[in-house]
Structure 1
Amino acid sequence: MPKIKNPIIPGMSPDPSIIRVNDTYYIATSTFHWYPSIQIFQSNDLSNWKLVDYIFKNGEIKLSGTNTPAGIWAPHLSYDPSNKKYWLIYSHMVSMAGREFNADAYAVHADNIKGPWSDPIYFTSIGFDPALFHDDDGKHYLTILEWETRQGYQAPGNIVIAEVDLNTGKIISPWTRVTNGFTTRGCSEAPQIYKKFDYYYLIIAAGGTGYAHGIEIGRSKNIYGPYEPHPSREPIVTSSPNHLFSLGDPDAGHFEMYNPNSIMQKAGHGSLFKAQDGEWYIAHLMSRPLNGTLLNPLGRETSIQKMRWTDDGWLEMADGTNLAKMEFDYSLPIGSEVSHDVIDDFDKEYQLEFMTPYRAQTPNWVNTHERPGHLRIYGQNSLFSQFNPSIMATRATSFNYDIQTKVEFHPEHYSQTAGVGIYYDSNNWIYLNLTHSEQLNATILTILQAKLGTRIEFVNHRIVIPNGQVELKLSYRDGFVSLFYRIEKEEWNNIINQIDATYLSDEGVNGEPGEIGGFTGLFNFIASVDTYQHQSYADFDYYYVKNNQ
């Protein structure tokens, strides 16, 4: 019997929201400070998923200056049978300062899952993680976390429900607080309503985005509650099934909940669906830490668990436990395994996988038409910038891989650079780059690093590149990076071995003690910088990321 193996979408693909359209499945995931916004993945067999589109790809959303990990959170896909439209609702987290968490909820709709999508309709700023439910009587409801800021009240807040007008975004009924959690894990968020057996089922994420994460469920005959918790009073899906009392903790990492007996960690934030085989499944996020650590460089990935309904109308995992699994049997055929390598020779337009932090991809700074067969990137802000860095990046999807590129660059000033590297956010990256040496009056290859916002210059690693053309390679192995170069198809020359890059992970970046520092994930990139005149450019002949599983 075929097996579905998790994660089904490796690398940054958190907060999955899944729907089935006939025999095709679609998953939308969060993108935070990255453009294009809101990834859409497609599958016909639940096992193999391909990135096919984004919801916002023309700069419709402004992310300039966004702090990690704010931006676009937790998109929710749904289908309204009354008007035969697809709906996607999401949070735009504008600011996280002071734990105020200023987020605006918008929805867009389309006649086709691939668009075109409507202009965003504003709904509320009460909190984040919104979801729409289209009831069979034609009414529509919005569920969301009401973010709590008051001292002395249980954080992060209550799950609330209101009837809404989809056309205007108007909140029709008063917000009704229905629960602040069905277990003692706390940190309830991501509420979603489903209807079955004449019950409304409310599925929520709990335990925070760290090692205590899980999926909880309650049910009610009335959409406004009261909601009866699952009889177990525990999550129905989690990586850490031990009991936890954590009410009032707003979102800690809960490193004490790490499960040493599981590859999968942080399973939570689920989206329920019925598959082609008639069975029920939950798509959910998960993480995989580096061996021997609690560091997760690949961020939160997407997995699936097989579920079942009990005789008394409760949802549970198919094997009767609540421990998320790395694989399970599937009754229908599964196609050939999809490769997550990125191979782009820039013969036409660059591939869909390329994403950019903080800014949209526009032809005035990145294009393939000015020099056919090459990706031309005009340099602007430094890699520390949260406004206009010229970075073209793809999600890291493995613990072992090589990045390779060929670049031509002719800098005239030391503040002009171009090269390749790995990137978590504006404060955390490693960059193998060409630049100008005044001392040598030549183009040189050197290394820059950002670690928790500190700039580190590798002054003892500088190599003259005679004609400004060089092939570059970065080898990532279980959190450590080695850098190489070659000229005119010579043998690869090693510049440096085993830079510790383990900090480029959700737990390693600028977090408070006990907290997750980020929840986006590691990216591979090529880039150009020009803080001199914003005029120089680099031409990249190819870009390969080859995974070594």
Structure 2
Amino acid sequence: MTTIQNPIIPGMAPDPSIIRVEDTYYIATSTFHWNPAIQLFQSKDLTNWELIDYVLKKDEVNLRGTNTPAGIWAPHLSYDAVTKKYWLAYSHMINMAGREFNSDSYAMWAYDITGPWSEPIFLTAIGFDPAIFHDEEDKHYLAILEWETREGYQAPGHIVIAEVDLENGGIIGEWHRINHGFTTRGCAEAPQIYKRKDYYYLLIAAGGTGYGHGVEIGRSKDVFGPYEPHPSGEPILTSSPRHLFSLGDPDAGHFEMYNPNSMMQKAGHGSLVETPTGEWYISHLMSRPLEGTLLNPLGRETSIQKMRWTEEDWIELADGSNLAKMEVEGPEDSLPLKENAYDVRDDFDGNYSLSFMTPYRNQEDKWVNTTERPGYLRIHGENSFFSQINPAIMATRATSFSYEVQTSLSFKPDHYSETAGIGLYYDSNNWLYLHLTYSEEQSATILTVLQAKLGERIEYGNHRLVVNNDEIELKINYDQGIATLMYRQSDEQWKRFVDDVDVTYLSDEGVNGEPGEIGGFTALFNFIGSVDAHQRDSYADFDYYYVTNV
């Protein structure tokens, strides 16, 4: 037995859905505008988690033009023991403008967690956060949030449940609306059904995705309800336990619910799992703001808490409270966390790391590969990084408040619209880019910096350095929202290029998301990439990519 330190999956790993099949645990998380979509993590002990695959990786979804924070939301994993199929339900949030929230929900199945997965099966467009429950007698049910757009009605909507046809898609019969009698925090979403003894339990996220977030639960002897509330009348898990009544309030921020006594904030959106020895845990999302701020650059991360069942057949945190903790007692067979578990080291000797994701577009050999120059990752430049169509970016999740990201690249531009380098990225409107480009004035390759802040383009005109032999090593030191940009040529020591760049805005609350939203929830990434807004004939060769957490 060991102590689990939260978060168990740091960086962008929100809306975790956890299951256990035999002796192995799996978690699926949201990925929004990033491809491949829907991260799949695996563990044997609930402590050590490994990214093993993605579900949407073969053009099943088109994320080009996705505005922050739309895209792929709240995947839900389940396992049908009768058919021995893994099922995954998810929403593709296509539009959030006007608070319309147009979202299509699908299901996919596979006999192995890493696929091959079936083609997506359309379920509904009624809302988002679908979850499948496999009941007895070969019946299957879909729970989801029915999004409300009308003025004067329950905002943001109701939880609804219906029998679902998993073979052909669609629902069977009618939707059954679940009343909000077991939530006071409102913003009910992410419904999940569990069955234990004589009761169906409906677990929901409540209070919005901000500082008032929590997990609430109700139970019923009929899957369609009515569901009675937990006797406490409060969430069974939150990072802000004081009472909040916000039923009908669609606000996701609730900054007044910030808990100054906890490193963990925004705890909510949970998913239950039982160990082989009968212990119960809940995986849930959380955030960690920069000290002295309400800004969360690492986005929404995955954590876990130990649970227990009461004599009255209600589930609660193991210590009897509802306050999510940073340290948790692990199961009987849990092991210590491996050292440097979240560092990234890729020398591109073969296929590139599974950790790499790309915003908006798919990773295709025609623009990124390790075959054209073995031992290097070649990235062919395409759109500006302001683009939501074809940016040539390979990125990994930031997982710490202090780290170094570095690379070595060869690049020979012949036009000022050809660039390649390293950077920090949130979305198409918000990034920092240390890069090589061509200077007509110098008739040479130079090192310089470009920045995007809330959609504004910022050039670092006073920072231009002629580069020898079109080769250079680049490094960014990130520390508590402050970036130092560095370079090294030949066998020189590392040299500072730009000091103390404030990048705290590269955080969920610091960016400009859809109107009416508080920004995003997609988190900070580190990246290497290239741009060619000239002839599309340039490329950059990256020798390595390292992220070292401090």
Deviation at 1:276, TM superposition (A): 2.7
User: What amino acid is the match of 1:59?
Assistant: D
Residue identity (%)? 70
Q: CA 1:319/1:20 → structure 2, altered by over 3 Å: closer, same or farther?
A: same
- 1:237-256, CA deviations, whole angstroms, 9 ceiling, x for partnerless residues? 00000101112221321111
Structure 2 residue aligned with 1:118: 118
CA distance in structure 2 between the aligned counterparts of 1:7 and 1:276, rounded to whole angstroms: 23
Q: CA 1:288/1:513 → structure 2, altered by over 3 Å: closer, same or farther?
A: farther
C-alpha contact (below 8 Å) 2:474/2:488 kept by paired residues: yes
**What secondary structure is seen at the aligned counterpart in 2 of 1:173?**
strand
Q: CA 1:390/1:331 → structure 2, altered by over 3 Å: closer, same or farther?
A: closer
Structure 2 residue aligned with 1:71: 71
User: What amino acid is the match of 1:162?
Assistant: A
Q: CA 1:85/1:511 → structure 2, altered by over 3 Å: closer, same or farther?
A: closer
**What secondary structure is seen at the aligned counterpart in 1 of 2:172?**
coil
Structure 1 residue aligned with 2:243: 243
C-alpha contact (below 8 Å) 1:237/1:268 kept by paired residues: yes
Deviation at 1:275, TM superposition (A): 1.2
Structure 2 residue aligned with 1:398: 400
- 1:252-282, CA deviations, whole angstroms, 9 ceiling, x for partnerless residues? 2111100000010000000011013311111
Structure 1 residue aligned with 2:499: 497
User: What amino acid is the match of 1:67?
Assistant: N
C-alpha contact (below 8 Å) 1:377/1:390 kept by paired residues: yes
What are the equivalent positions in structure 2 for 1:216-295 lying under 5 Å apart? 216-295=216-295
Deviation at 1:137, TM superposition (A): 2.3
- Is residue 2:415 matched to residue 1:419? no
User: What amino acid is the match of 2:463?
Assistant: H
- Is residue 2:545 matched to residue 1:547? no
Structure 2 residue aligned with 1:352: 354
What are the equivalent positions in structure 2 for 1:169-248 lying under 5 Å apart? 169-180=169-180, 182-248=182-248
**What secondary structure is seen at the aligned counterpart in 2 of 1:502?**
coil
Structure 1 residue aligned with 2:345: 343
Deviation at 1:513, TM superposition (A): 9.6
Structure 1 residue aligned with 2:101: 101
**What secondary structure is seen at the aligned counterpart in 1 of 2:155?**
coil
C-alpha contact (below 8 Å) 2:102/2:127 kept by paired residues: yes
Structure 2 residue aligned with 1:131: 131
Q: CA 1:145/1:514 → structure 2, altered by over 3 Å: closer, same or farther?
A: closer
CA distance in structure 1 between the aligned counterparts of 2:68 and 2:493, rounded to whole angstroms: 39
**Among 433, 437, 440, the residue aligned to 1:438:** 440
C-alpha contact (below 8 Å) 1:181/1:187 kept by paired residues: no
C-alpha contact (below 8 Å) 1:252/1:514 kept by paired residues: no
CA distance in structure 2 between the aligned counterparts of 1:247 and 1:512, rounded to whole angstroms: 23
Structure 2 residue aligned with 1:451: 453
User: What amino acid is the match of 1:44?
Assistant: K
5+ residue gaps, structure 1: none
CA distance in structure 2 between the aligned counterparts of 1:324 and 1:173, rounded to whole angstroms: 39
Deviation at 1:142, TM superposition (A): 0.3
CA distance in structure 2 between the aligned counterparts of 1:139 and 1:205, rounded to whole angstroms: 25
C-alpha contact (below 8 Å) 1:75/1:129 kept by paired residues: yes
**What secondary structure is seen at the aligned counterpart in 1 of 2:256?**
helix
Structure 1 residue aligned with 2:81: 81
Deviation at 1:466, TM superposition (A): 2.3
- 1:456-499, CA deviations, whole angstroms, 9 ceiling, x for partnerless residues? 00000000002110000000000000000010020111011110
What are the equivalent positions in structure 2 for 1:300-319 lying under 5 Å apart? 300-319=300-319
Structure 1 residue aligned with 2:464: 462
What are the equivalent positions in structure 2 for 1:21-40 lying under 5 Å apart? 21-40=21-40
CA distance in structure 1 between the aligned counterparts of 2:90 and 2:540, rounded to whole angstroms: 36
CA distance in structure 1 between the aligned counterparts of 2:473 and 2:18, rounded to whole angstroms: 40
Q: TM-score, normalised by structure 1?
A: 0.98
Deviation at 1:136, TM superposition (A): 1.5
CA distance in structure 1 between the aligned counterparts of 2:352 and 2:492, rounded to whole angstroms: 27
Q: TM-score, normalised by structure 2?
A: 0.98
Structure 2 residue aligned with 1:365: 367
CA distance in structure 2 between the aligned counterparts of 1:180 and 1:510, rounded to whole angstroms: 32
**What secondary structure is seen at the aligned counterpart in 2 of 1:175?**
strand
**Among 515, 518, 527, the residue aligned to 1:525:** 527
User: What amino acid is the match of 1:483?
Assistant: L
**What secondary structure is seen at the aligned counterpart in 2 of 1:20?**
strand
CA distance in structure 1 between the aligned counterparts of 2:157 and 2:407, rounded to whole angstroms: 47
Deviation at 1:80, TM superposition (A): 1.2
C-alpha contact (below 8 Å) 1:289/1:295 kept by paired residues: yes
CA distance in structure 1 between the aligned counterparts of 2:336 and 2:204, rounded to whole angstroms: 33
CA distance in structure 1 between the aligned counterparts of 2:414 and 2:59, rounded to whole angstroms: 31
Deviation at 1:200, TM superposition (A): 0.6
